[in-house]
Copies of this chain bind each other. A is one copy, B any other.
Amino acid sequence: MAESHDYLRKGQAIYERSFAIIRAEADLARFSDAEAHIVVRMIHAAGLVPLADVIEFGHDFARVARRAIEAGAPIFCDAEMVERGVTRARLPARNDVVCTLRDPHVPEIAARLGTTRSAAAIDLWGERLEGALVVIGNAPTALFHLMERLDAGLPRPAAIIGVPVGFVGAAESKDALAADALGIPYLIVRGRLGGSAIAAAAVNALASDLI
C-alpha cells in the first residue's frame, strides 16, 4: 500500500529529534545535567516548552530520587493514569508501582475524613512509604493530605514528585510542599500546570538515567 503521508515512523528517531528541539528551544541553564534530563522529558510529555520555567527541584531531588529507585524503592502514585504511565521495563530494580485509589476501603476512609478518594488512598500506603518515591500527579488534596500525615509522623519517603494539576488548590499545594517539605527532596511544577503525563514522564526520566 502506498504511504500517503510523509512522517517520521521510527520511535527512537522521533525521540531524538523531539529532545533536540526541546533543548534548542528551552532555557535549561539553571538546571544540573541530571535535572535537565528530567525537565526535557516532562516538556516532551506536555508539548509545552515554557514548562521549563515553572519546574523546581529541592533538596538534591534528582540524585536522591535516582538512588532510591536504583535501590528498589516502591513508587506510590495518587492516580491510575500515573501508575499506568510508568514504563516498567525501564525500572532498574523491578520496583513496585502502586496506586491504592481503587482499594475497597478508600470510599469509607474518604467519607470519614471528609476529603477526596485521592487523599484517602494515601492512608493505605503505611509503613512502605519509608524510603519510597511518592508521585502526586493529579489531586491537590492528595498532596495536602500527604503533608498533613508527614507532619503527624508518617514514615518519610525518599523523595516526592508533587505535580498535581488544576485550578483549585494545585498551585497552593505545591507552594506548601516547597515551603515546608520537612527536608524531603521534591520536584514541583509551580502554578496550575501538572498532571499524570508530566508525573509519569518524570519517573521514566529518573529510571532511564540508570540503564
Contacts and interface: CB of A to CB of B under 8 A. Distances in A.
Interface of A: 1, 3-5, 7-11, 14, 17-18, 21-22, 44-48, 80-81, 83-85, 113-117, 119, 140-141, 144, 147-148, 151-152, 165-170, 172-173, 176, 191-197, 200
A182 to B, nearest CB: 12
A151 to B, nearest CB: 6
A21 B151 contact: no
A113 to B, nearest CB: 8
User: How many copies of this kind of chain does the complex include?
Assistant: 2
Given A8-B169, A14-B169, A44-B167, 12 more contacts: A4-B147, A4-B148, A4-B151, A5-B148, A45-B195, A47-B167, A47-B194, A48-B192, A81-B81, A84-B84, A165-B197, A195-B195
Contacts of A151: 4
A13 to B, nearest CB: 8
A195 B47 contact: yes
